[in-house]
Amino acid sequence: MRAGTGNEPMSTLVLGYGNPSRGDDGVGWCVVRELEERDLPDVRLETSHQLDLEFAEIVSEFDSVFFVDAAVADSPEPITRSEIRPRMHAHTTSHHLLPSDVLALCACLYGKEPEAVLYTIRGESFGFAAEISRAAAEAAREVADEIAERVLSGLAKKAAHTVGESEAGSTA
């Protein structure tokens, strides 16, 4: 999914990921759908079930990246905003990467380190369902509003706080 014509250089990537067939786990996709309606300049919108190795190359094309994912139901806040730095974590499989892993691969393979923010939205229900909960939908609209505002005001480089080890346990 993309915004813009594709001819101009894209400066911002919004990547919503999760499983849209598992209720609130699809909230990242919902944020991307909200943003599609806004026709933001120089923004590319993508969705995926998970972060894969291939995203390192895609991320290398942008100045800033917003990752959007669901958080487990016992997360302390409905929405968490975290600045992400490149950092590889030890994994037993390449089928599950964290945003900091993607940024580390991007830096290593392509020599690029875009500014990055991870938004996690607390989910309530992760069972088999195509719809997300009302609370997750409201939070998705709030995140879409904030991303749009950051893009339009040029504040894409600011984030609430830096994430290190705590990032690994925050997502669903």
Structural domains in the chain, CATH included, are: 12-160 (3.40.50.1450)
Say whether pLDDT at 159 is over 50. no
Sign for the CA dihedral angle at 60, 72, 24, 126 comes to positive
Say whether pLDDT at 166 is over 50. no
3-state secondary structure of 132: coil
Q: By C-alpha distance, which of 46, 19, 16 is closest to 132?
A: 19
Per-residue pLDDT tens for 26-79? 999 999 999 999 989 999 999 999 999 999 999 999 999 999 999 998 888 999
| DSSP H helices in 64-112 | 99-110
Amino acid occupying residue 134: R
For residue 3, the 8-state DSSP code is: -
Read off the pLDDT band of 160 (50, 70, 90): very low
Amino acid occupying residue 33: R
Say whether pLDDT at 161 is over 50. no
Average pLDDT of the chain, as a whole number: 86
CA atoms of 170 and 172, how far apart (whole Å)? 7
Give the length of the chain: 172
Give how far Cα 96 sits from Cα of 6, 58, 115, 160, Å: 29, 17, 21, 25
CA atoms of 34 and 121, how far apart (whole Å)? 15
Q: 3 or 137, which is more confident? A: 137
Read off the pLDDT band of 25 (50, 70, 90): very high
Its pTM stands at: 0.83
Q: What is the pLDDT of residue 92?
A: 58
